[in-house]
Amino acid sequence: MPPTSPLLLGLELAGAGAHPASWRRADSRAEDLFTAGYWVDALRAAEDAGIDLAFLPDSFTLQTAGAIGRLDAVAIAARAAAVTGRIGLIPQASVTHTEPFHLSKAIASLDFATKGRAGWEVTVSAGEAALFGRKPEQDGRSRWQEADEAVEVVTRLWDSWEDDAEIRDQATGRFIDRDKLHYIDFTGAHFSVKGPSITPRPPQGQPPIAVRAADPHSVRLAVHRADLIRIAAPDLAKAAATRSELRAALAAAGRDPNRVRVLLDIDIHLAATVDAAAAEVAQLEDWLATPAPATVFHIGTPAELRDILREVENECAADGVVLRPLALPAALRHLPALAPTLRERLGLPRPANRYARA
Amino acid sequence: MPEQRPRKQIHLAAHFPGVNHHTVWTDPASGSQIDFDSFVHLARTAERGLFDFFFLAEGLRLREHRDRIHDLDVVGRPDTFTVLNALVAVTTHLGLAGTINTTFNEPFELARQFASLDHLSGGRAAWNAVTSSDAFTGENFRRGGYLDHAKRYTRAHEVVDATRALWDNWPADTLVIDRERGVFARPVTPVHFSSEQFEIDGPFVLPRGPQGYPVQIQAGDSDEGREFAAAKADVIFSAHGELADGQRFYRDVKDRLARYGRDRDDLKILPAAGFVLGDTTAEAHERAHHIRRQQVTPQTAIAFLEQVWGRDLSAYDPDGPLPDIDPAEDVNITRGRVRHAKDPRAIADAWRAKAAAEHLSIRELIIATTARQQFVGTPREVAVEIDRYVQSDAADGFVLVPYLTPTGLDEFVDKVVPELQSLGSFRTAYTGPTLRHHLGLRHPHDSSPANDSTGQSRHGTEGVRAS
Ligand SMILES: Cc1cc2nc3c(=O)[nH]c(=O)nc-3n(C[C@H](O)[C@H](O)[C@H](O)COP(=O)(O)O)c2cc1C
């Protein structure tokens, strides 16, 4: 089944870049990583380049190498809300230690602040229990089972106010119609939540949910609950196969596969020439050797990356991609050359000039 | 009046009304309580008026009245951190204060959220720590509502101590960022925080924010609450607005500071206050009366009465006399933040006496008894009155609560602020970048006040600066 709409372009903004040595580049702006300027500039550059979705990874753990330290991803998205206008903002937020009630209103409020551009990438936290000291470390099954409950709670809370619950009825003095507010009365193995939310239903109703499908537990959650499923694959053929499997699983779960987008991670490093890109990556690896990328990668020019994107589309390898720059500021400089034209977005080829000689 | 002492400078904050019954939502000028543009409007107005900070209250469960969701209140509020971070983009100096309770949040997460806000805002974050943990609110959280009042303040102290330990985890020289040698940061030694209610182990994930610690606000009134404030807070948001009451509270709390080795100026007391302006005194009072009637609708009057009587009084005429029946034993008719009448019989008797003496209907009585601190008059009169309260130590300033969202502060900023400035009691420009600076508070890792003449450059070396 071919993708039903233009290829979605996502960008993951992981600090100085996905490569842990990226901060050592002269252009890394490593000194600015904890300032708003760094993030606002990056998100605006991505938006100007035509990127549809910005993914903001997050974790409570301190990195073991490279540029350490991390601002709260929802906070970064909120900080950028009023100074961006089109790009979707999808912060990661873990549900292992964070209350679903808090998450629900945080993402709903991001949706209000962006006028309908918020999303949420659901994650779980491994190895962070000691930071909270509230409950013992859980295994993968328990974490994702809890996540499943959390997503249920969050999405119910988003619906706990009907869209027209605020009535401002002067005659009866009622600000709201309480019949349009609903207790969610959720009880699960990990928590129970009464509701309703304190935040009205957000502009999108249900902000899109993204899940990275990486193991049987997360795949299960993705198939049942995600609007955007992120995958990693060694090549486009494998990606296409994974997409087909996911679509079959979606259908089996009673969901319309055409309403869920599968996004393929592509690790990138862009430069004006292939040689320059290769030399720059060699430098990064020389500073700090890293394992080979676990997904499709591209080290080269933006034009070649456009070819790869076309291939992704033609081979139905995915409905979109999430570009993961090894070095973020460097990639941002080259993104404009990547921007698809309106015709491309519509899936229309660029026609030959009728007067040009064949 | 105080003699021979320099004129105290007034601190002002703007409260965005959350769940309440004093927003006049029936006014044609009343806008959205939830659209982000409303928050932008109030914040920008406050900054135009050179206010110290913008303030959000918190309530984590919708109130119930007679076992159903209370539908007379203005309700619907956003997530505090999300709104404050988003407002950073449309303001440059204004402090951003969030009420976040210590019972339904975890220290590590809170520490990171406030540190993120402080970094992203370049030092404008403030945290109003409240304890608010009835089992009713607890039903929305997995921790539940098991903490009694005393335990809640134990937890509050421990949460604040834990967040401070985490904020202090990266010493000032942690970040190295040496590209040549490939050293980004010195190793961070994990925090081990152990207390009655917490066991936290691990490194924090952020350098110290521009303010060291965000400005700490407190808003409880009990003895424990006041003690908590004296030990840890930079600002008290109080309900003691009236002059004599305010002076008593002010003296009480400031007297407690010495016990913790703190100066009287280390804690600012800012009561909540409303205001109504007019071109003449008479017009202002007329407006105030009109506003009070809109705030206390016939239905709201009955609901208030029911909170004391503890029973269904919907059959009574709000424009008629008080009920002749006695209050019920169980008065918990409204659930969620409300001050329950401790002795409903006594209150009912007092109200009956007052209503009889002053010939008041139910609604008129409620209008008279639920009034909050309010400055009413011409802009000049209001300015003089606010200044009098501050100079006579009833307050260090006020948290203004407009009755209209989001334009309710416009008139104050346009007309009263210039009057306060002409009295010499209010700044004419921001003189520093951080909220600590606006409030004249010390940096937690520095012993001299923030806005002495050398304060600014000293702060420039602390932590990581936002651009
Ligand atoms: C002026 C004022 C404002 C308050 N605002 C809030 C609020 O927004 N959210 C909340 O949960 N509690 C709020 N409280 C309640 C207190 O934070 C505190 O939890 C409660 O008063 C119990 O503590 P106490 O016994 O020390 O008063 C407020 C209290 C006062 C006096």
Residue A31 lies in a domain: yes
> Is the CATH number 3.20.20.70 carried by domain B11-281+373-439?
no
Is residue A87 assigned to a domain?
Answer: yes
Specify the DSSP element, H or E, that contains A92: strand A88-94
pLDDT band at B153 (very low <50, low <70, confident <90, very high): confident
Substitution candidate for ligand 1 out of B221, B398, B401 with most atoms within 8 A of CB: B221
Give the per-residue pLDDT at A149: 97
Which residue carries 């080795």 as its tokens? B261
* Ranges of residues in chain A whose predicted pLDDT is under 50: none
pLDDT at B461 over 50: no
Q: Which residue has the higher pLDDT, B449 or B39?
A: B39
A36-48 and A73-81 are packed helices; what angle lies between their axes, rounded to 10 degrees?
A: 60
pLDDT per position as a tens digit, B11-43: 999 999 888 878 999 999 999 999 999 999 999
Domain hosting A291: range is: 8-126+206-345
Number of domains in chain A: 1
Cβ pair B83:A26 closer than 8 A? no
A358 occurs within a structural domain: no
Higher-confidence residue: B150 or A101?
A101
pLDDT band at B446 (very low <50, low <70, confident <90, very high): confident
pTM given for the model: 0.95
For B172-225, write each residue's pLDDT tens digit: 999 999 999 999 999 999 999 999 989 999 999 999 999 999 999 999 788 989
Q: Where are the domains of chain B?
A: 11-281+373-439, 297-369
Q: Does A60 touch chain B (CB under 8 A)?
A: yes
Predicted pLDDT at B145: 60
The whole-number pLDDT of residue B462 equals 37
- Which one is predicted more confidently, B454 or B400? B400
Pocket flag, ligand 1, residue B222 (CB < 6 Å): yes
pLDDT of B152: 84
- Model confidence at B134, pLDDT cuts 50, 70, 90, reads confident
Residue B333 confidence (pLDDT) above 50: yes
CATH code for the domain in which residue A91 is found: 3.20.20.30
Average pLDDT, chain B: 91
Task: Note the pLDDT of residue B455.
Answer: 35
CA distance B240 to A332: 54
Query: Is the predicted pLDDT of residue B460 greater than 80, yes or no?
Result: no
Better pLDDT: B243 or A135: B243
**Residue A58 labelled as part of a binding site:** yes
Q: Which helix (H) or strand (E) holds A8?
A: strand A8-12
Q: Is B280 in the pocket of ligand 1 (CB under 6 A)?
A: no
A178 Cβ under 8 Å from any chain B Cβ: yes
pLDDT the model gives residue B450:
55
C-alpha B222 to ligand 1 mean position (Å): 10
**Residue A96 in domain:** yes
Taking a C-beta distance cutoff of 8 angstroms, is the pair A340, A9 a contact? yes
Mean pLDDT of B390-396: 98
Q: What percent of chain B has pLDDT over 70?
A: 92
> Closest residue of A to B166, CA-based?
A131
Answer yes or no: is A214 within a domain.
yes
Average pLDDT over residues B81-94: 98
Q: What is the pLDDT of residue A1?
A: 56
SS (H, E, C) A163-212: CCCEEEECCCCEEECHHHECCCCEECCCCEECCCCCCCCCCCCCCCEEEE
- Confirm whether A184 is domain-assigned: no
Query: Atom 16 of ligand 1 has which residue's CA nearest to it?
Result: B220
A320 touches chain B (CB under 8 A): no
Confidence at residue B1, expressed as pLDDT on a 0 to 100 scale: 52
The answer on pLDDT for B465 being more than 50 is no
